Each structure stands twice: as C-alpha cells, then as structure tokens.
Amino acid sequence: MGLIEDFVAGLPESDRAAVAHVYEVGRRVVPDAEEGVGYGVVCWRVRGKGLLGVKPAARHYALVPFSGDAIAAAGDAVAGLPATKGTIRFTPDAPLPDAAIEAVIRARLAEIDGSAAG
C-alpha cells in the first residue's frame, strides 16, 4: 500500500470514502502526481511541491492545497464553502464537490508551474 492508501485505511470507517474521494479527484486531474508528505500532511506532490492533501481535525477534515492563494484563485467553485486562508473544511456528511476540488487543484498547479518557470 502507498502513503495515501495507508492514511485512508487508518481513518474511521465512516470517514474513509469522503477522504479517499478527495485523493481520487486529485489522481484523476493530475495522474502523474506522486505521493508524499508536506508539513505532516499526506499528499499528492508535483515537481517536489505539495499539491493536495487532507488533514484530520477534531470535527472535520481539511483539504490542504499548501497555498492560501490557490483557494482564493479557485473563485466561484469554492464560494460559500467553509474555509480558512489555507484550507477548506469538509465532513463525510458534507463532502466537497468535485468542481471545488478540481478548481483548487488547477489553481495550485498554475502556481507550481509559475514558480517552476520563474
């Protein structure tokens, strides 16, 4: 098993599907992403930079794109979702829409590509 599969397998059974789905969307959008850890968060990485991870909290999970700017850049796709500057919160009962996950991933990829070019 890989880092992501191990992480998901260690979660309460009631939470696994919602968390696994976030990582599945990431894999679908960026099929060549690599598994890794960034700031203690199991994540997909692209060109050595954190792309997308999920961090457990006391009463929710947090989608972590390793950039507050990526959340802001996702615009309408994340409007109204419970968020902080650097995370978007979700629960198994209120999972994130695919469009929101995809928009955050694409915004983070644009940042990574921009920093690689600069």
pLDDT higher than 60, residue 56: yes
**What are the respective helix, strand and coil percentages of the chain, to the nearest 5?**
45, 25, 30
pLDDT higher than 60, residue 61: yes
Backbone angles phi, psi at 113, to 5 degrees: -65, -40
**pTM score, two decimals?**
0.92
Burial of 116 (0-12, 13-18, 19+ CB in 10 A): exposed
On the CB side of 65, CA atoms within 13 Å amount to 30
Q: pLDDT category, 106, cuts 50, 70, 90?
A: very high
pLDDT higher than 50, residue 58: yes
The position carrying tokens 């700031």 is 39
pLDDT (0 to 100) of residue 1? 72
